[in-house]
Structure 1
């Protein structure tokens, strides 16, 4: 091929290439000279930018940029970058002839000749506005979704990796679980589970289930950052990509602790209502039977009286007869009468002699009987709140109720144990203890460390004739009497028991908050006698008992301090000289400081002057009696102390 022909072919190829570029409509393809002036223009550039070739050729390409980009020097930067790096590529807003904007993808390449001289730049621009709008719309949607998720505070919403690592964290998760975003992202979600659930493999099983079936849903206890627990409803959904590959999990947790507590409270209230209705029905039936039985016993009792009178007449007439049958029948009638009284107690139909009394004083006065109800291998403890309120109560029946409870506690500890009788003031919410309304109450508990009761036995413990003891060992009426009496006194009885761990029976009685309302006629002053010589203690106790005092004793100062802490004491009567540490004067000073209402009387075999020489003038602060003392000495000294 000669040179002329070859030149014609090259010119023909260039023309075809030019036609190709000029005819492309989807891309703006044009040339810039080294200074950035437009030197060619194709149909795509005309379509995108709105300029025809005659309008734009020779113009600087920066006119396509926004005012902001021109002010920042972006066109110059673009050409410089193309020269230095061989290419410039970016996206941004560009301006059409009519002033409207479009989002452009731009590539600028430098063009050199065979000698490496810069001829200019090739610039390719594509209008990707629709793609940009779609991306912006998706981004806006995602942003709204993120804001929505972050704004939710009632639910913990977060993502997990396929391995269970936390990858994001919303504000609800922070509020419910206590961890901030930076504290938790990257941690394994199993840290929210209880140690028991972790040991049982619950977190692993939850992810496995969600991965296999697409979803896991459950409720259970979860742990907050501060270690407290909350009841959670949990949903875990598996997240897959378009090809079905597991990308991770979406986890939603809701704190249902209050809802659970409300449900439990409702369940307990329904159970209490059912129990109350059941006991009320049994009570009505029992009361009716007891009344009818009483009528029958009245007939039998009257008949026996007639027979007894006839027998006496026969004896006067010389006729003989055996009285043993009549006596046996009388004893049977008496036992039947006691049984009906027990049934009427449960049915809340017994007459009560109620008055405002200090429960502490009733318990203290009845304590010797309660202690005798136990045995030598049972420790008996009385723990009375000195500030326990009074209550309106039939004291005799209250003592009987306490005795019943102590006997039951003793029988539950055949191998020995511990019985504790305690009083406390309590403030109850509505239905916190059975069906009692909200208010102030005195709580009396009898606790033991015995065999305890299973749940089903606790549910029936107050029913008459229900007993777990062997035949002949119990009537099953003891607790039913206590229940009926306390309910008739507007109180409540609650059993807390666990097999093998013992039982606590709590009596709640409405408190008489003002002590002024207590019947002062029932008050018996209590004296605490502190004496290390047993014989002298017995003598002193007898003298004080004969004067009508309620007597407590202690053999040392330390023992006396324990008694003072647990009991109300009106008078402290202590020997001055005592071994084992604290002497009587120290005890008296301690009592005056901590229990200023307690009157103090000192006693000693040493004469007062000798004691003053030994112990100082502090003895003048207290009443004093010399040993041996007589009843008159005690009475005179007590009057001066008062």
Structure 2
């Protein structure tokens, strides 16, 4: 039985831990203090907290007191025969009074070697009954942990669970906030700002300053309505947008806006309502991309297309006159020259003989609805007498004024326009595909670079270099003809030229002219960039005695038929190879790109090894066509 002094001491320890947990946001610090206090409370020499690792197959020592410092980080298998695993899976404390007589469970070797004689395991659960790990107290002498000890440890673990959960959420929030701040501060092509419930600006980011011209000091307190054009304000569009966001959660903001100097900028964005936990409006977040040039280009294109359609439709090539339902009464000499039909052969419904058989039903239906629609407008194919080919024509007609039911119409050759439209659709589809790919690559680069960057300067430098690599590939692609392909040696030369001035340490061995598939080249080029960057900073090209050998050749792919490019990147003579967690080991984006992205995106087989004196990497990727045959 515990005496009064011991009970008071344990209550004080619970209070002390609660106060400490409220003051600290450092999980490791809180867990160390938890171990110290629990050891003091139950008067053991040692204690530790074990955390379940991702996958649920291992336990890792997260914090410890009374042990050697290197115990922290030690991982244990979650063996069904250990008391630790049993306690976590049953949710019950497990006591071992003397491990020399323990028959139920195995005791980890490191604990026996450290002289542990008795232990008590108490599972730690996060809110929602999610298992976190284990609180374990150890003694170097056999000990009978009593019911008071067990219940105290259970109480202690029950308090510890919500504390750990809170600190996890604090860490996640801090990380998310930092990433969001980095993205917002570097998204200079987007106007991002926050307004209060009355639409007064309270937070003005760099992108907004760049696009609108007002500094943060000037913009703060300004009404968001001042960014609208005078005509939109007169129509109440500014208030309508805010009220729509207030009631529906968001509102589109795609319109012209006014800059500080009075000029106009077209934004494609939205306004989102921010709410407090009680549902009241906290303010509005506004995000808009400057698409002024794109909008103007689209407008010019629409105007150009409208003018083109008017010109094409208004130039008569084949002229005719007809009565209701297409009963023709006259065909022009142009019709006769084109179709070979004489006027007397085309009158009545004879002109249909020159129309493609598959289109005659369409033309007849168009005539049947022409009077109700007030005009005829259809396209169909007409046979050309000179070669028997059918050529697309656009037929338009209106009832002639003062001519009763007589119609005067023309057929305009639109064959070339049809072919051009089809070609444009193909080109547009390819442009959209490449644009999506580039946006996806840049988005992935930004996210991966943010994850691996400790400072904004680190991010700027790394992201800038990777964007330069993307730009080099796009530059090579833009110089190609219709049926040309980038060759591997050209790609490699462009990447080496961007990183290396002195080629004495580099040996190249491979055939010229191996052509690469354009859709796969971007990711492959980034892999070359990461290898070259690593070699210049840490590898063979950074060492006095270093040497870089690059070999490549064309091989058969996995199916024995599809050509594949085999690249061998071998560095030797590297002095003072860096530690396992150093960037040169390829533990960051570069290695992940080679070992994971290439196999996933290109179906490549890769290896990435650290030799005693440098990196050795191989890539076998089915992205090649082979050399062009002259």
Structure exhibiting the larger radius of gyration computed from Cα positions: 1
Tell me the TM-score normalized by structure 2: 0.29
